Amino acid sequence: MNLYDLFFFLSLLAGFLMAFNLGANDVANAMASAVGAKAISVRQAVLIAGTLNFVGAVFLGSHVTATVSKGIINADQIADPQIMIVGMLGALLAAATWVFIATLTALPVSSTHSIIGSILGFGLIAMGPGVVNWLVLGGVVLSWIISPFFAAAISFAVFSHIRRFILMHTDFFLQALRWAPIWIALTVGLVLLSFLYKTPVGKQIPVSDGMGLLAIIGICVLIWFAGTRIVRSVMAGAERSAESVEFIFRRIQVGTSCYVALSQGANDVANAIGPVAAIYMISREHALLEQADVPLSILALGGVGIALGVMIFGRKVMATVGTKITSLTNTRGFSVDFGAATTVLAASNLGLPVSTTHAAVGGVVGVGLARGFSSVDFGVLLRIVAYWVLTVPIAAFTSIVYFNILSGLFL
């Protein structure tokens, strides 16, 4: 077995570990608001997230991925393919190590930023500062500020609207029947926009942006029309209580959680598979291309890793985001999901590398602040933010350590 084959098999193991940790941390925190609001149980969240993430990764994930994740380094400045495969393997191991440590401490971190930090460390040690795309790195730092604040603002506004026009209204039950179909239609529109513009399969649908938007608006009107009748029919014999209002939003939140799980599998599997694809390409061609075809078997490996991660360790991070920052009800949980999904969709279309993790935590803080500062545990929040800030430098340093060890052993 030559060096290329050896590193390809090692990269499969490292990619699986990264996918496992991605499932345990990134995916788990996306399901946290539904668990915290008791829309679904932890066991149901684990089953839904595991299954839909696998389906998203294998059937909706990109079969062609950038070989150097997120463009953080200029790969054409690294001429020796052996240095590249050693660096990519070290980066995968470093990112997996950091996300695993964060998961053990039950704190949510971004797997995207972990892999960016680890590749940054490899680039710095291999070729120096000139190989780093500092503009991309600046965008990552900017996203630490934009995504949580943006998600918090939207979630705050959504929950404030629900509280003012439904929960605080004298005839809150009638108001819920009136407004719930509108929120259902808006949520379906958001999900369809996310699917069309964010998932690899959606981007391949041959429709112009204008036609796609018109079609989605038309579907939303139909959903509102049908939703009005369905909600009134389902709630016809229900007691006029606050619990009945929460029941309506509980059903909506289950739908948004399922979509988040499917979308994450489709999009985030690249964080684990991107470096594997680079090593796969180098081991086959002995050269690095800008993009590599990803075999279905490697995508499936990532999907299995994500599913096992959320099943074995997922509940740790779910508990932190879903219950320890602030208490969530179904209306608050729905506001969190809506704010986070809107942030990720809007920022992605602006080209900002936002993290679903940061958006979800920002959304939870936003609905907490809607009830006053005393409703948010700022101690837990500060620990989470500290981990976010430390993610890139720690992943970079760990990657440098792994690169030196692997270089000493094999180069």
Q: What is the pLDDT of residues 196-213, one digit of tens each?
A: 876 666 777 887 878 888
What are the residues facing 71 on neighbouring strands?
Answer: none
Q: DSSP secondary-structure letter at 165?
A: I
Q: Can you give the pLDDT at residue 200?
A: 65
Q: Residue-wise over 255-283: b if at least 16 C-beta within 10 A, else e?
A: bbbbbbbbbbbbbbbbbbbbbbbbbbbbb
Q: What percent of the chain has pLDDT over 70?
A: 91
More confident residue, 255 or 89: 89
Task: Assess contact for 350 and 294: CB atoms under 8 A.
Answer: no
Rounded (to 5) percent helix, strand, coil in the chain: 80, 0, 15
Q: Are 123 and 72 in contact (CB under 8 A)?
A: yes
Looking at residue 67, its pLDDT comes to 47
Q: Is the pLDDT of residue 382 over 90?
A: yes
* Single-letter code of the amino acid located at 197: Y
Q: Is the pLDDT of residue 63 over 60?
A: no
What residue has token string 């404030």? 160
Torsion of the alpha carbons at 357, 27, 140 and 290, rounded to the nearest 10? -170
Query: Is the pLDDT at 70 greater than 60, yes or no?
Result: no
Please say if the pLDDT value at position 45 is more than 70: yes
Amino acid at 395: A
d(CA 254, CA 3): 48
Distance CA 76, CA 67 (A): 12
pLDDT of 199 reads 67
Q: Classify residue 132 by its DSSP letter.
A: B
Most confident of 54-68, 104-118, 268-282, 347-361: 104-118
Residue with tokens 């979630």: 155
pLDDT at 60: 66
Average pLDDT over residues 346-355: 70
Mean pLDDT over 141-158 rounds to 87
CA atoms within a 13 Å half-sphere pointing along the CA-CB vector of 254: 13
3-state secondary structure of 218: helix
Task: Give the list of residues 6+ apart from residue 141 with CB closer than 8 angstroms, or none.
Answer: none
Amino acid at the residue 343: T
Q: How many other CB atoms are found less than 10 A from the CB of residue 78? A: 18
Q: Quick one: how far is CA 307 from the chain centroid?
A: 14
Q: How far apart are CA 391 and CA 115, in angstroms?
A: 9
**pTM of the model as a whole:** 0.85
| Model pLDDT, residue 153 | 94
Q: Is the pLDDT of residue 160 over 90?
A: yes
> Residue 37 gets which letter from DSSP?
T
DSSP for 178-210, please give it: HHHHHHHHHHHHHHHHHHHHHSHHHHTS---HH
Q: Write the pLDDT tens digit of every residue in 216-246.
A: 999 999 999 998 999 888 888 788 888 888 8
Distance CA 357, CA 109 (A): 6
Please write the tens of the pLDDT for every residue from 7-37. Answer: 888 989 998 998 898 888 887 776 788 888 8
* Most confident among 62-66, 80-84, 147-151, 402-406 (mean pLDDT): 402-406
Q: What is the pLDDT of residue 170?
A: 87
Question: How far apart are the C-alpha atoms of 295 and 276, rounded to whole Å?
Answer: 11
Kindly report the average pLDDT of the chain as a whole number.
83
Cβ pair 61, 302 in contact under 8 A: yes
| Helix and strand totals (H; E) in the chain | 15, 2
* CB of 175 closer than 8 Å to CB of 165: yes
